[in-house]
A and B are shown apart, each in its own frame.
Chain A
Amino acid sequence: MEQRLANTWKMTNNEKKFIETSLLSDLRVDGRTSFQYRGLNIKFGREDGSSEVQLGQTHVMGFVTSQLVQPYRDRPNEGTLSIFTEFSPMADPSFEAGRPGEFAIELGRIIDRGLRESRAVDTESLCVLAGKLVWAIRIDLHILDNGGNLVDAANIAALAALMTFRRPECTLGGEDGQELIVHPPEVKEPLPLIIHHLPIAVTFGIFGDGNILVIDPSHTEEVVMRGRITATLNATGDICSIQKVGEGLMQSSIMQCLRIAKGKADDITTKLRSVVEAHCTERAARKIKRHPSSVAVDVSRTDTVVKDKPTQKGGEFSVDKPDESCSHDCNGTGSETARRGETVKASVGAPSSWDPYSKGVDANSLKTSLAVPGRSTPSKEQIESIVDEVMYEEPISNIGSVDSKPNEAAQSPRQLSSEAKTLKDAVKPKNKRKKKTPS
C-alpha cells in the first residue's frame, strides 16, 4: 500500500483551492486566459504515417499502419479504420501498463467517433476486391507525457498521422488477371488516404457551478474541474461529435463552447494543413535526391562496357539505355506529381526534366546541359559525346567500385520492366565476350 501511495501523483489541497479561487477571478495558473490554447507543435517521423504532437507539456505519438484483410459481411466494399490507444506509465504514474484504463477507452472512443462516424476517411476507396480484400487502417496512439487535455492532442496526432500515411498501391495481374500484386514503394509511389474533412476535437473544462468554462485544461486543472465537454467539429463548422462528462451545462454555455471551438478548429486545421504540406514537400524532395545515386551506377556500368569494347554495338547500347530509362523515369515522376497537390507539382516538375539526363552525365556536364536552354532533349550524338566524356573521367572518379552495392538495389525495381531485362541480357554476353577475347 505504501508503494502505491508513492507511485500516485498527488495534489495538495492548497493547489486545488488556489486553482478554483483564481478561476473565479478569471485567472489560470499557467498565465493563460480562459479561451487560450497552449502552444501546438506537430512533428513527423521519417516513415510515412507517423506523427508526434506536443500540446504544452502533453506529448502524444501517432502511428498509422495498414493491412489487407477480408471485409465485414455487411460492408463488402468498405475498408476499416480502427483506433488503439496506449497509455504509457511513463506519461503519468497513475497509468497502468497493459490494461487500458477507463480513460484510455473513453479517449479512443471520442476520437473514433469523430473520425469514423463523421466519415472523415473515405473507407470505400480502401476496397481492393469487393467482398474479398480491403485495407484495414490501424491508428495507434501513444501517450508519452500527460500534461492535460489528452483528447485534443491525441486527435491531432491521429489526423496528422492519417494525412501523411501512404498505403502501397496494388493492382490485379498475373495469368488470370485475378492475382493481387502489392507494389513496393520503390516501384509505384504509395497512395495517400482520401480524407474528406478534418474533425478537430476541442475540450473545455467546466468549473464552479457550470458557469466557468476553460479551454484546453492542463493536468492540474483536470484534477479540480467538475466536468468536461469535448466538441469535435471541422473547419466548415459541422459538428461531428460532442462528449460531455460531469457537471451539467446551460444550453447557452454549450452554444458558446461550440462557437469558440469552431474558431479553434479553424486555427488548428490551417496549422495542420500547412505542417503536412511542408512535410510532403520535404518528402518529395527527399525522394528526388535518391535518383542520382542509382543513376550514377548505370553510367559506370555502361561505361565499363564501352571502355572494354568500344565497338559499334557497345556505343549503340550505351546510347539506347539512357533514352529508355529516361522515358521510364518521366512516367514515374509524372504520375507521382499528378497524385500530389499542386504545390508539390512545381517542385517535382523541375527536377523530373533534368533527372533523366543525369543518367549518362556527370554533375559538370549536367550543369552545362541545363545552362543551354536549347538542349532540352539530347540527340544521339550529344549523348554519345557525353558518354565519351564520362568514359574518360571514369578512371579518376572510380564510380564503379564505390557504387557496387547501391547498384544492385537500384536494379531491383528495374528488373520488373521487361525492357530493362532485355537490356540486362544484352550486357551479359558482352561480358562473356570480353573474357573470351583475351584468351
Chain B
Amino acid sequence: MVEEKKKSEPQSTLVDKIVVPGDVVLDLSKLSNQTIKLGDGLRQDRDSITVMKSGKLRFSKPNKYWVESSQKRYVPCVDDTVLGIVLDSKADNFLVDIKGPAVAFLPVLAFEGGTRRNIPKFEPGSLIYVRVVKANMGMNPELSCTDVNGKAAEFGALKDGYMFETSTGLSRTLLSTSTCPVLEALGKKLSFEIAVGLNGRVWVNAEAPSTVILVANALLKSEPLTAVQQRIMVESLLQRVQ
C-alpha cells in the first residue's frame, strides 16, 4: 500500500460505485492535511488519484481506498488466506500454485513448531489452506501455514472433499461478514464444511457426496443472482434432491 500525505477529509463521491480505468477518484489539492492509503487498482498521478482497473471503489474508515473487482486470476496480497495446490517440494520450500502469476513458496519451516527435524510431507497435488506473508514485486510470493502468532489456527492440508474454482469476486462475497444468502440458506438445511480462499478457490466437504455436489453447484450458480434469487435457487435445488 502506498501512503500519501493529504489535507482535509478524504471522501470520494465515487465510493461504492462502479469505476473504470482513467476515472479520477480524488483530487489531492483539495484535501487538507490527511493521510490516505491506496489499495489495489488505484494510482497517484501528481495531484489526482486515478483508477487502474474496473470494479467497485471501496472505502474503509478512516482512510483506505481500493478497487474491488471479480477476476479469474489472483493477485497475491499480504495477509490474504488462499487455497494452494502443492506442485513440488524442494529442500527449503514447497512450490505452491495459488492462481497467481508466479508460483508461491511455502518454507518448510513455516508451520507451528516447525523445525528441520519434523518437516511435513505434502505430495504434489495436495490442497492446502495457507496465508500470504510476502507479496513483493518481482519476487515469488511467500506463504505460511501459521497465523500471525505462530499458531497453526485452521491452516494446513485439507483432506478429502471437493475443490472448485470460481472468481475472486464470488469468494469475497462468500467470506463477507454479513453471511452470504446462499450460504445461509444452504447452512439451514445441510451440514457441510467449507474453506474459501481469496484466490477464488473453494473447498467443500460433507458426509455424503451428493451434499458436496449440491453445495458446489449452488455456489457456482449464485454469482450473478440477487439475495432473493439465491434463496429461491437453493430452495428449488433442495427440493429436487429430496
Contacts and interface: CB of A to CB of B under 8 A. Distances in A.
Contact of B87 (A5, A27, A29): A5
B52 interface: no
Interface residues of B, number: 28
Contact of B162 (A2, A18, A25, A31): A18
B97 A6 contact: yes
Interface stretch (B1-9, B178-186, B206-214): B206-214
B159 interface: yes
Contact of B101 (A6, A25, A29, A30): A6
A12 B87 contact: no
B95 A14 contact: no
B216 A17 contact: no
A29 B160 contact: no
A2 B103 contact: yes
Contacts of A13: 123, 125-127
Given A5-B95, A13-B126, A27 B213 contact: yes
A30 B95 contact: no
A376 B160 CA distance: 78
B82 interface: no
B66 interface: no
Contacts of B85: 10, 12
Contacts of B216: 29
Do most interface residues of chain A lie in helix, strand or loop, or is the interface mixed? helix
Which of A16, A25, A30, A31 has the largest count of B CB atoms less than 10 A from its CB?
A31
Contacts of B158: 14
Nearest to A29: B213
A21 B209 contact: yes
A56 to B, nearest CB: 12
Contacts of B217: 30-31
Given A5-B95, A31-B217, A18 B101 contact: no
A6 B102 contact: yes
Interface string A1-40: 0100110001111111110011001011111000000000
B15 to A, nearest CB: 35
Given A5-B103, A15-B163, A29-B162, A10 B125 contact: yes
B213 A12 contact: no
A92 B158 CA distance: 26
Contacts of B164: 15, 29
A14 B203 contact: yes
Contacts, number: 66
B161 interface: yes
A161 B109 CA distance: 58
A373 to B, nearest CB: 53
Nearest to B159: A14
A14 B213 contact: no
Contacts of A14: 126-127, 158-163, 203
B88 interface: yes
Given A14-B163, A29-B162, A22 B97 contact: no
Interface string A318-340: 00000000000000000000000
Contacts of A21: 209
Interface in B184-242: 203, 209-210, 212-214, 216-217
Given A5-B103, A14-B160, A15-B162, A31 B97 contact: no
Nearest to A13: B125
A11 B86 CA distance: 10
B96 to A, nearest CB: 10
Nearest to B241: A31
Interface in B115-169: 123, 125-127, 140, 158-164
A25 B140 CA distance: 42
Contacts of A17: 160
A18 B161 contact: yes
A258 to B, nearest CB: 29
Ordered nearest first, which 5 A-B pairs have the shortest CB separation? A22-B209, A13-B125, A18-B162, A12-B127, A31-B217
Interface of A: 2, 5-6, 10-18, 21-22, 25, 27-31
22 contacts: A6-B101, A6-B102, A11-B125, A12-B85, A12-B127, A12-B163, A13-B123, A13-B127, A14-B163, A14-B203, A15-B162, A15-B163, A18-B212, A21-B209, A22-B209, A22-B213, A25-B209, A27-B209, A27-B210, A29-B213, A29-B216, A31-B217
Interface of B: 85, 87-88, 95, 97, 101-103, 123, 125-127, 140, 158-164, 203, 209-210, 212-214, 216-217
Given A2-B95, A5-B88, 7 more contacts: A6-B102, A6-B103, A12-B85, A14-B162, A16-B125, A25-B210, A29-B213
